[in-house]
Amino acid sequence: MRLSASDLVCVRGGREVFRNLNFAVAGGEALVVTGRNGAGKSSLLRLIAGLLRPMAGRIDLDGGNAELTIAEQAHYVGHQDALKPSLSVRENLAFWTDLLGHRGESDALAALGLDGLAGLPAAYLSAGQRRRLSLARLVSAVRPIWLLDEPTSALDTAAQAMLAGLMRTHLSGGGLILAAAHGAIGLDRAAELRLEGGR
């Protein structure tokens, strides 16, 4: 599997965010997108996830499921945790698993250290717990592409190590990761794509 972009141009709110962007990342590889605030890191992930349309250029996936779009083969975890506060931890995860399909690990809550909170309404979770619940869908529904926007945000050291382990397992199984980040995310051999000055 290989995800690539060619001469990608992104415009948001009438402002050109970046132009002529090219990259390629293969299965088993991670690409960390860095750059100052407003450089287009989140916009790039949203383009790949199908939430924005490029002004020009192409995004291609070779070796994926030809019957599905790139977005249908990707998990996008953005800044918002996308949880319903009145639903329990278990019910929130069940919603995402049913929506996304392709069941993966049956005990995703345990994988993220949330099994003891399964019956608690999401409204009572701390910021770090909410983030871990949002990340639990990565393992509850199998998708080969992970698009992670500041994935370690609000996570303590132990939770960051837990996430790093999940990412390494995903990569070892042939998955690929694109992560927007300002700092290290726990993947030593990740390549870096730096967005700077619209390039």
How does pLDDT run across 22-40, given as a tens digit for each residue? 999 999 999 999 999 989 9
User: What is the pLDDT at residue 114?
Assistant: 95
User: What is the pLDDT at residue 79?
Assistant: 86
Place of tokens 């992670």: 148
Where do the H-state alpha helices sit in the chain?
41-48, 89-100, 108-111, 127-140, 157-172
Q: Is the pLDDT of residue 102 over 80?
A: no
Average pLDDT, the chain: 93
Give the up-direction half-sphere exposure of residue 179: CA atoms within 13 A in the CB hemisphere.
Answer: 23
DSSP β-ladder status, 30-34 and 191-194: parallel
Contact indicator for 169, 138 with CB cutoff of 8 Å: no
73: helix, strand or coil: helix
Distance CA 133, CA 122 (A): 9
Q: Is the pLDDT of residue 142 over 80?
A: yes
Q: Is the pLDDT of residue 16 over 90?
A: yes
Residue type, 176: L
User: What is the pLDDT at residue 95?
Assistant: 93
Which tokens is 176 given?
Answer: 């690929």
More confident residue, 132 or 101: 132
Tell me what percent of the residues of the chain surpass a pLDDT of 90: 84
All structural domains of the chain, each given as residue ranges with its CATH number in brackets, are 2-194 (3.40.50.300)
> Average pLDDT for residues 176-190, to the nearest whole number?
92
Q: Which tens digits make up the pLDDT trace of 109-120? A: 999 999 999 999
Which tokens is 91 given?
Answer: 């019910």
> Average pLDDT for residues 163-184, to the nearest whole number?
95
> Average pLDDT for residues 136-154, to the nearest whole number?
94
